[in-house]
Amino acid sequence: MANIKSQIKRNRQNERRHERNKALRSELKTRVKAAVSAAESGDAAAATAALRTAQKRIDMAVAKGLVHKNTAARKKARLTRRVDSLLG
């Protein structure tokens, strides 16, 4: 356990940020999975809406510093390609 006041505060901040980042990462995975499952069901309108939502969440994660911009670009490209291939 830290004895220095600033380190005690830093530990509290790190715990809060860790929980927030974990929630955001989980939401990203959920949105991507929803887009893929909508495309697999064959519903083009739902798949397009889910894809847009997933891409928006990925962009928001970049803005918050959760993922690197190149990682986000790669995820978005792969997701778009996968959804397009499933829709035919």
Per-residue pLDDT of 58-81, as tens digits, reads 999 999 999 999 999 999 999 999
- Smallest CA-to-CA distance from 84 within 53, 21, 54, 40 is with 40
Q: For residue 81, what are the domain limits?
A: 5-87
Residue percentage of the chain with pLDDT more than 90: 94
The predicted structure's pLDDT at residue 1 = 79
State how far the Cα of 33 lies from the Cα of 77, in Å rounded to an integer. 15
CATH of the domain at 25: 1.20.58.110
Looking at the 3D structure of the chain, how many domains does it have?
1
Residue 19 binned pLDDT confidence (cut-offs 50, 70, 90): very high
Q: Which two tokens stand for residue 52?
A: 């847009």
pLDDT exceeds cutoff 90 at 28: yes
Q: Which two tokens stand for residue 87?
A: 């829709």
Q: Output the pTM of the full model.
A: 0.85
State how far the Cα of 13 lies from the Cα of 23, in Å rounded to an integer. 16
